[in-house]
């Protein structure tokens, strides 16, 4: 079945099947159309960018904007979508879609939070996924020197836990772990400051321990603001002004 749209032929029936229910489809002519619930198609005069440029560093984004930004016929804006994703977007098109020209995704590892880990896994996570600070060092000392019988000898007032750990060949120290603890995980672009967050640290039998988030995800707001300030700083250094607005 062929349908003539705006003077151009396209195998529309097959395209509808391929669209799998999506409202945005691409014709054989390379143009894009929006389908409504009745199956009527409207041509988009400003087609959505099918494959935005994929980047992993914020500095690469500014380098690309310096190279190609002025050649794009659109009012470009930088949108900080999340602590790990930034997009370069344009104005809203007539079809109701907004083009995305470039996308930056941070390379970060996932954190095993809010689940109990064995001793070795917790030690590895603390050393490889968190910046060093006093609270991290206290927890690392406790977990590294923990023995199974220590958990049985712990005191717990519902807020903090105290355990006895081996501090030498023949000595035993009692260490009180404060709660909440302030830790700095690697959760956003390495180019910006990593926001600190409050965590609840808990231990249980079997030398298992866990970290539970206690800041209601406020770190995400701080991370997005850090990204915004960093991009604006790069723009000032590169263009002498904030040439492209940054929305966080």
**pLDDT at residue number 21:** 53
Secondary structure, 3-state, the chain = CCEEECCEEECHHHHHHHHCCCCEEECCCCCEEEECCCCCEEECCCCCCCCCEEECCHHHHHHHHHHHHHHCCCCCEEEEEECCEEEEECCCCCCCCCCEEEEEECCCCCCCCCCCECHHHHHHHHHHHECCCHHHHHHHHHHHCCCHHHHHCCEECCCCEEEEEECCCCCEEEEEECCCEEECECCCCCCCCCCCEEEEEEEECCCEEEEEECCCCHHHHHHHHHHHHHHHHHHHHHHCCCCCCEEC
Give the C-alpha distances (Å, rounded to integers) separating 67 from 60, 61, 100, 136, 149: 11, 10, 17, 42, 62
Positions in the chain short of pLDDT 50: 1-10, 13-14, 17-20, 151-152, 167-172
Distance CA 69, CA 88 (A): 10
**pLDDT at residue number 44:** 59
**pLDDT at residue number 49:** 63
Contact 161, 205 (CB under 8 A): no
Cα 220 → chain centroid: 9
**pLDDT at residue number 161:** 57
**pLDDT at residue number 103:** 96
237: left (phi over 0), alpha (psi -120 to 50) or beta: alpha
**pLDDT at residue number 98:** 85
pLDDT tens column, 152-178: 455 555 555 555 555 443 334 566 777
């Amino acid at each position: 079945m062929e349908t003539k749209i705006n003077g151009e032929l396209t195998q529309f029936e097959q395209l509808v099947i391929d669209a799998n229910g999506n409202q945005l489809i691409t014709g054989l002519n390379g143009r894009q159309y929006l389908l409504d619930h009745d199956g009527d198609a409207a041509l988009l005069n400003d087609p959505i960018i099918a494959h935005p440029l994929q980047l992993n560093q914020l500095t690469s984004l500014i380098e690309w904007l310096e190279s190609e930004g002025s050649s794009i016929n659109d009012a470009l804006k930088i949108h900080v979508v999340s602590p790990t994703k930034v997009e370069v977007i344009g104005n809203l098109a007539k079809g109701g879609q907004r083009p995305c020209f470039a996308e930056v995704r941070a390379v970060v590892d996932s954190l095993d939070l809010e689940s109990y880990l064995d001793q070795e896994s917790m030690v590895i996570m603390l050393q490889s996924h968190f910046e060093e600070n006093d609270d991290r060092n206290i927890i690392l000392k406790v977990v590294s020197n923990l023995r199974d019988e220590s958990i049985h000898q712990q005191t717990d007032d519902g807020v903090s836990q105290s355990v006895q750990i081996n501090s030498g060949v023949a000595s035993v120290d009692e260490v009180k772990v404060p709660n909440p603890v302030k830790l700095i995980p690697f959760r956003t672009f390495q180019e910006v400051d990593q926001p600190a967050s409050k965590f609840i640290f808990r231990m249980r039998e079997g030398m298992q321990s866990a970290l539970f988030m206690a800041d209601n995800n406020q770190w995400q707001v701080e991370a997005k603001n850090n990204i915004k300030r960093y991009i604006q700083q790069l723009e000032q250094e590169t263009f002498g002004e904030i040439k492209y607005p940054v929305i966080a």
